[in-house]
Amino acid sequence: MSNNTITLTGVAATEPRHLVTADGLQISSFRLASTPRRFDSAEKKWNDGDTNWFTVTAYRQLATNAAESIKKGDRVLVSGSVRVREWESEESKGTTVEVEADAMGHDLTWGTTQLTRQPHKADAASEPPTI
Amino acid sequence: MSNNTITLTGVAATEPRHLVTADGLQISSFRLASTPRRFDSAEKKWNDGDTNWFTVTAYRQLATNAAESIKKGDRVLVSGSVRVREWESEESKGTTVEVEADAMGHDLTWGTTQLTRQPHKADAASEPPTI
Amino acid sequence: MSNNTITLTGVAATEPRHLVTADGLQISSFRLASTPRRFDSAEKKWNDGDTNWFTVTAYRQLATNAAESIKKGDRVLVSGSVRVREWESEESKGTTVEVEADAMGHDLTWGTTQLTRQPHKADAASEPPTI
Amino acid sequence: MSNNTITLTGVAATEPRHLVTADGLQISSFRLASTPRRFDSAEKKWNDGDTNWFTVTAYRQLATNAAESIKKGDRVLVSGSVRVREWESEESKGTTVEVEADAMGHDLTWGTTQLTRQPHKADAASEPPTI
């Protein structure tokens, strides 16, 4: 089990980068800007909170379809799990917050979509990635 | 706060029904069939579990866009909250399990989508419905 | 994958029933009343919504510990997945809405808890049940 | 709306720090180590994945009760929303991944708990914090 589940909405802040590993695994990732709405009890209205930034990563068929579908600026809905990774290079170090997507789509709150079905290997996609 | 949050994927088993109340509130709803994959420890493989049936309901702009976008048979991703309602008529009684959607989209695990943005009243959509 | 994930809070409306199957599988279940708070835009305040009723079911060590810990009236937090089951007997038929718990605990919003650790077979509990 | 919802389990890796602001707002926070279990298709078994680290923060009554209840090493279940914050001081910069808890409790998968109810101001706790 993944141990954490997250669902979030936001704006794709970059075009998805798509690559295929030497083993044939498709991977796509893009940056997502997610801005909460907060209710201000004093002013009795909703305001924008601070934007949270995530790297969204998808694998296999979802990676390929997301790369073909999602453009910079699109509103999306993503569900999956969070990975927090510390990294260190010779010059610098930092933290990456990654959402590994189990499913995602354009958020219909903000537009309409036309679907084109793609061939799908059900078994491969239903198993957790083993990378 | 909604007190429960659910995220689910499945197949739209009906076309969305769309209506506008006398007060001008847009409402759409459709039936969603959601079939889990379960890992069989004995057989060491993933099998289909029993299908769970939900009524998905959306309000406002999300209702209008969902009704225009989602067709029977489409794979979708929905996030929102669950309402369990007991109902009783003269002849019969039963239980309805409704997911009130905060966001939804075509699930890109199964296809690609082309987005058309729609005008959006941010404030109205961000507030919880007051029906 | 479970295909749906739900997290909810509410009040245990019954004492947990605990049983062990002939195969040695521990199962506990209780009824949970979950009442949302809704923001009323007109009145500019939070009100109670209609209560949603769920049957919460747990397996294995979680079942045993829940049965020992949770009393009728306790506030709890549950995460897991929803199963919607239609049933029919000779006299009647209906729908059961069950949350199969992956984890749960007393909700610390409403009280303090003292923990007693219990021996745990990690592998068994981490695998999805195969019932 | 919070725009993201997360539910996670893990081990409290520090004792909660508890403070009260000049305005009387109670805040508690602790570090949570959350280690996923991943299914290895080749080996056909579950393995530990890499640990994800989060700072869990709670406000108001939940903060006070969590600080009294949770000890370093306890297994907990948390639901809330994620905030990703970039920070910079004169000497250094970094990223903090914070889960703002709406509810939390000891995870009954790993032990039993005894509850002591605490007086509760329902309205205050039900509103989103306005900090």
Is the sign of the CA dihedral B105, B106, B110, B116 positive or negative? negative
Shortest distance, CA D44 to any CA of chain B (angstroms): 7
Q: Is residue A92 less than 8 Å (CB to CB) from chain D?
A: no
Cα–Cα–Cα angle for C73, C74, C77, nearest 5°?
135
Tell me which chain C residues have a C-beta less than 8 angstroms from the C-beta of B34. Answer: 3-4
Q: From CA B53, how far away is CA B95, in angstroms rounded?
A: 12
Between A48 and D122, where is the model more confident?
A: A48
pLDDT, tens only, C85-120: 888 888 888 888 999 999 999 999 999 999 999 987
Q: Is residue A84 less than 8 Å (CB to CB) from chain C?
A: no
Q: From the CA atom positions of chain A, what is the Rg in Å?
A: 17
pLDDT average, residue stretch A16-29: 97
Interface test with chain A among D3, D60, D100, by most A beta carbons within 10 Å: D3
Half-sphere exposure of A6 (CA within 13 A, CB side): 24
The complex's ipTM works out to: 0.86
Q: Is residue D1 less than 8 Å (CB to CB) from chain A?
A: yes
pLDDT, tens only, A98-129: 999 999 999 999 999 999 999 876 544 444 44
Tell me which chain A residues have a C-beta less than 8 angstroms from the C-beta of D102. Answer: none
Query: Under a CB-based contact definition with an 8 Å cutoff, are residues A39 and A46 in contact?
Result: yes
Tell me which chain D residues have a C-beta less than 8 angstroms from the C-beta of A36. Answer: 1-4, 81
Element (H, E) at A55: strand A52-59
Q: From CA A53, how far away is CA A29, in angstroms rounded?
A: 13
Between A48 and B21, where is the model more confident?
A: B21
Distances (CA, A) of C31 to A8, B15, C104, D75: 29, 34, 14, 24
Q: Indicate yes or no: CB of C10 within 8 angstroms of CB of B3.
A: yes
Confidence band of C130 (pLDDT split at 50, 70, 90): very low
Beta bridge partners of B31: B55
Interface test with chain D among C60, C115, C130, by most D beta carbons within 10 Å: C115
Q: Indicate yes or no: CB of C4 within 8 angstroms of CB of B8.
A: yes
The mean pLDDT of chain B is 88
Nearest to A25 by CA among A57, A3, A54: A57
Q: Is residue A23 less than 8 Å (CB to CB) from chain D?
A: no
Q: From CA A25, how far away is CA A22, in angstroms rounded?
A: 7
Q: From CA A103, how far away is CA D10, in angstroms rounded?
A: 24
Beta bridge partners of D72: none
Helices (H), chain A: 60-69, 122-126
Q: Is residue B116 less than 8 Å (CB to CB) from chain A?
A: yes
Q: Indicate yes or no: CB of A105 within 8 angstroms of CB of B61.
A: no
Q: Is residue D111 less than 8 Å (CB to CB) from chain C?
A: yes
Across B94-122, b (16+ Cβ under 10 Å) vs e yields: eeebbbbbbbbbbbbbbbbbebeeeebee
Interface test with chain D among A51, A79, A82, by most D beta carbons within 10 Å: A82
pLDDT average, residue stretch B15-36: 96
The mean pLDDT of chain A is 88
Q: What type of residue sits at position D61?
A: Q
Nearest to D52 by CA among D102, D11, D81, D109: D11
Beta bridge partners of A26: A20
Interface test with chain C among B2, B4, B8, B56, by most C beta carbons within 10 Å: B4
Q: Residue C2 pLDDT more than 90?
A: no
Q: From CA D70, how far away is CA D76, in angstroms rounded?
A: 8
Tell me which chain A residues have a C-beta less than 8 angstroms from the C-beta of C5. Answer: 5, 79
Q: What is the pLDDT along chain D (131 residues), one digit of tens a residue?
A: 568 999 999 999 999 999 999 999 999 999 999 998 877 767 777 788 899 999 999 999 999 999 999 999 999 999 999 999 888 888 888 888 999 999 999 999 999 999 999 987 654 444 444 44
Half-sphere exposure of B31 (CA within 13 A, CB side): 8
Q: Is residue B119 less than 8 Å (CB to CB) from chain C?
A: no
Shortest distance, CA B130 to any CA of chain D (angstroms): 14
Q: Which of A29-38, A39-48, C31-40, C41-50 has the highest mean pLDDT?
A: A29-38
Shortest distance, CA B58 to any CA of chain D (angstroms): 16
Confidence band of C66 (pLDDT split at 50, 70, 90): very high
Report the 10 Å Cβ neighbour count for A122.
13
Give the nearest chain D residue to B5 (CA atoms). D5
pLDDT, tens only, A85-102: 888 888 888 888 999 999
Q: Is residue B49 less than 8 Å (CB to CB) from chain D?
A: no
Place of tokens 């489409």: B74
Helices (H), chain D: 60-69, 122-126
Q: From CA A106, how far away is CA A102, in angstroms rounded?
A: 14
Q: From CA B99, how far away is CA B16, in angstroms rounded?
A: 14
Q: From CA D123, how far away is CA B107, in angstroms rounded?
A: 37
A108: buried, middle or exposed (CB in 10 Å: 19+, 13-18, 0-12)?
buried
Q: From CA C99, how far away is CA C78, in angstroms rounded?
A: 8
Report the 10 Å Cβ neighbour count for A131.
10
Query: Under a CB-based contact definition with an 8 Å cutoff, are residues B51 and B8 in contact?
Result: no
Across A31-66, b (16+ Cβ under 10 Å) vs e yields: bbebebbbbebeeeebeebebbebbbbbbbbbbbbb
Nearest to D49 by CA among B38, A58, A60, A130: A130
Q: Say whether D122 sits in a helix, a strand or coil.
A: helix
DSSP string for residues in D6-20: EEEEEEE-SPPEEEE
Q: Indicate yes or no: CB of A1 within 8 angstroms of CB of C39.
A: no
| Structure token pair of residue B77 | 């991703």
Query: Under a CB-based contact definition with an 8 Å cutoff, are residues D3 and B126 in contact?
Result: no
Tell me which chain B residues have a C-beta less than 8 angstroms from the C-beta of C52. Answer: 3-4, 82-84
